[in-house]
Amino acid sequence: DIVMTQSPDSLAVSLGERATINCKSSQSVLYSSNNKNYLAWYQQKPGQPPKLLIYWASSRESGVPDRFSGGGSETDFTLTISSLQAEDVAVYYCQQYYGSSRTFGQGTKVEIK
């Protein structure tokens, strides 16, 4: 199985500041035939199910604020929150869908400093 490793495990950012979460896969999730990275990002607030934010590494799901952006390729990816808002406090997960067994990172908890 492809192992997904996120860093850091947690981070505290001031309101209005940038938050960056990293995700590294144990093998490339870039499919050469269509040049797409099979990687998604989710947000999970306390007591709620996960919510899809980003797919294909950088495509924003409908309704997701544009302060959320995804980047990277092959094995190294980032989720950036350009200006942290109070409602962004949550745990964020990356997930690969390249392998037959879809796997998630361990999660990164984002808090307000």
Partner 1 sequence: EVQLVESGGGLVKPGGSLRLSCAASGFTFSGYNMNWVRQAPGKGLEWVSSISSSSGYLSYADSVRGRFTISRDNAKNSLFLQMNSLRAEDTGVYYCARDGSVHDYWYFDLWGRGTLVTVSS
For the bound state, the minimum distance from the C-beta of residue 27 to partner 1, rounded and expressed in Å, comes to 17
For the bound state, the minimum distance from the C-beta of residue 16 to partner 1, rounded and expressed in Å, comes to 28
For the bound state, the minimum distance from the C-beta of residue 59 to partner 1, rounded and expressed in Å, comes to 10
Residues near partner 1 (CB under 8 A) are 38, 40, 42, 44, 48-52, 55, 61, 93, 95, 97, 100-107
Q: What percent of the residues of the chain are helix, what percent strand, and what percent coil, each to the nearest 5? A: 5, 50, 45
Are the C-beta atoms of 79 and 54 separated by less than 8 Å?
yes
- Between 19 and 95, whose beta carbon lies closer to partner 1? 95
